Amino acid sequence: MNSALTAQNQSRSNAIISIDPSSYEFEEEEPYADFVITNEGSDDLIITNMYFQGADADMFDFEGGDDTPITILSGEIHTFSVIYWGFEGPIIRRDRASAEIIIENNSSNAPQLSVALTATGGGFGLDEDGDGYDEVEDCDDTDPNINPGAYDIPDDGIDQDCDGEDATFNEENLNMDRYITLTVQQGEKISLDLFANADDTPIKIKSGDQEYKLTVGTSWTGFHDYTAEATTMTIYGDIENFDCAENEGNINSLDVSQNKILKILYCESNNLSSLDLSQNTALINLYCYDNNLSSLDVSQNTLLTELYCYNNNLSSLDLSQNTVLISLSCYNNNFTTATLDALYCSLPNRTGEDAEGVIEPIYDADSDNHDIVIATNKQNALDKNWRVRYHSNEDILETTGTYECATGIAGIEAADIEIYPNPVNDVLHIELAENNFSVEFYNIYGQQVLQIQNKCEVSVSDLPSGVYMLKITTEKGIFSHKFVKK
């Protein structure tokens, strides 16, 4: 990596230049070196150019990259750092590397100064097997399947992950009734990080004929790659915290309904269009941002404290059951002003709590939906001890809306809406003056079972018999109504 810092030549000066050290040998675990240029003369010294020269010049670089011209006043100093990379393809070269630093300046006494650099011996390390770990880190640098990031095959007598012992696996204690299922791109590597609910917990990852057997404890394993031999991948066992983030298009769906002990779920930056959390009542933290979610029901997740669902396609979000929530980041969704007002009103009341809640309904002041957010009444959130801010941690400007949570309705009255028949067998009719509205249907457990947009006739024939709550959202406000499905 050759750095050349260029500038036009300046007029010559009687400045006297010196550098310390005048040569340097890089040794074990010391890939950085600091150099000091001193102007010992009476005139200003201007460094016009600095670069590396020699056969191994590409192995050295200026740390941070100084920009020339650099002016050093009389009696002053300038400090810069050099880093030794030493990479030659997959090999980290340990010795016999050399180059010079060339320093061009306006001094008539020494218009060009050179500093010798060498790298001999030490622990820069060879990576002979090309697995990304040098011989210092790698316990077998002749086998690319053995390194600190490798999957350790249990009970085969080989320590593949270099932790000092071969992995063991107790199949008898494996809980095959508790599992998480992913829909994945066949042939791709899926990166996962796991955390069990007890030490020495057996975990099995299965995709097609491929099986991985792990022993996981009560700390994160770190990300490891598991090859998808089929279009599904199932993780069996007592996983308490699960991280499948940033697999992007390689994970298309996630089913966590069979793992009811799940407390932390990181599933951001994938290709998820739906997420059923109705069985995960122990869930505390949910990071599902950067997906394609069009709806998200967290009504059963009453222990939820952190929710990061930004960069999705959500049109509504009800937090009325999440009474211990403290942090919500939900910007870049399809929220209207009315939806955000309803969201503020559904936030749990943190009045009297030591820590205020934080909600981020918008990324920054330049976001496309800025006018929508400014038209809300953020005072409803402030009154519950919630801070309404941009993602940058700056408070949102004063909003102009007048929506009041106390009424639950702003500008829309029950007389303006007619819903019939009730009870209903097949088709429910909704009549109202507004043309732009959304309708959500919830069962008695608070689970959203249906959502429509701008339709006045809704088929409910597929819904089980029972009592349902209908929530209609318009630009004027929100209207709720119960009905009975026969």
Confidence of residue 122 (pLDDT cuts 50, 70, 90): very low
| 13-33 mean pLDDT | 77
User: Which pLDDT value is given to residue 179?
Assistant: 98
Q: What is the percent of the chain where pLDDT is above 70?
A: 89
Listing DSSP states for 346-396 in one string gives: HS---TT-SS-EEEEEES-TTSTTHHHHHTS-THHHHTTTEEEEETTSPBP
Say which residues have a Cβ less than 8 Å from residue 158's Cβ, sequence separation at least 6.
146, 152, 166
Mean pLDDT of the chain: 85
pLDDT at position 2 over 50: no
Q: Name the most confidently modeled range: 115-129, 298-312, 450-464.
A: 298-312
CATH architecture of the region 171-390: Alpha-Beta Horseshoe (3.80)
Summarised one tens digit per residue, pLDDT across range 229-246 is 999 999 999 999 999 999
Which residue is listed with tokens 């949570």?
405
Please say if the pLDDT value at position 410 is more than 90: no
pLDDT by residue (tens digit) across 431-445? 888 888 888 887 765
Give the number of C-alpha atoms closer than 13 A to the C-alpha of residue 436, restricted to the C-beta side: 8
In terms of average pLDDT, the best of 140-154, 246-260, 341-355, 389-403 is 246-260
Rounded to 5 degrees, φ, ψ at 401 are: -70, 160
DSSP, collapsed to helix, strand or coil, labels residue 344 as helix
* Statement: residue 3 has pLDDT above 50: no
pLDDT at position 66: 61
pLDDT band at 29 (very low <50, low <70, confident <90, very high): low
Q: Could you read off the pLDDT of 264-323 as tens digits, one per residue?
A: 999 999 999 999 999 999 999 999 999 999 999 999 999 999 999 999 999 999 998 898
Amino acid 436: pLDDT: 87
Q: Write down the pLDDT at residue 123.
A: 42
Q: 6-30 as b/e, with b when 16 or more CB fall inside 10 Å?
A: eeeebeebebbbebeeeebebeeee
Q: Kindly give the pairing relationship between strand 357-362 and strand 386-390.
A: parallel
Specify the domain boundaries for CATH 2.60.40.10 within the chain. 4-119
Higher pLDDT, 6 or 53: 53
pLDDT at residue 211, rounded to an integer:
93
| Partners of 444 in the β-ladder | none
**CATH H-level, domain 4-119: superfamily:** Immunoglobulins (2.60.40.10)
Residue 11: is its pLDDT beyond 70? Answer: no
What burial class does residue 259 get, using C-beta atoms within 10 Å of its C-beta: 0-12 exposed, 13-18 middle, 19+ buried? buried
Q: How confident is the model at residue 355 (pLDDT cuts 50, 70, 90)?
A: confident
Q: Is residue 9's pLDDT more than 60?
A: no
8 Å CB contact between 321 and 350: no
pLDDT of 4 over the 50 cut: no
Extended beta strands in 230-348, E state? 232-236, 239-243, 251-255, 264-266, 285-287, 306-308, 327-329
Tens digit of each residue's pLDDT (9 = 90 or more) over 156-214: 889 988 888 888 888 999 999 999 999 999 999 999 999 999 999 999 999 999 999 99
- Does the pLDDT at position 411 exceed 70? no
Instruction: Check residue 290 and give its pLDDT.
Output: 97
d(CA 407, CA 271): 39
Architecture, CATH, for domain 414-485:
Sandwich (2.60)
Q: Which amino acid is at 384?
A: K
Mean pLDDT, range 31-38, rounded to an integer: 84
CA distance 226 to 318: 36
- Considering only residues 352 and 223, tell me which one the structure prediction assigns the higher pLDDT: 223
Within the chain, all domains assigned CATH 2.60.40.3080 are found at 414-485
pLDDT tens digits along 366-386: 999 999 999 999 999 999 999
Most confident of 126-130, 327-331, 418-422: 327-331
User: Where do you find CATH 3.80.10 in the chain?
Assistant: 171-390
What is the sign, positive or negative, of the torsion defined by CA atoms of 373, 333, 223, 168?
A: positive
Task: Average the pLDDT over 53-58 and give the result.
Answer: 81
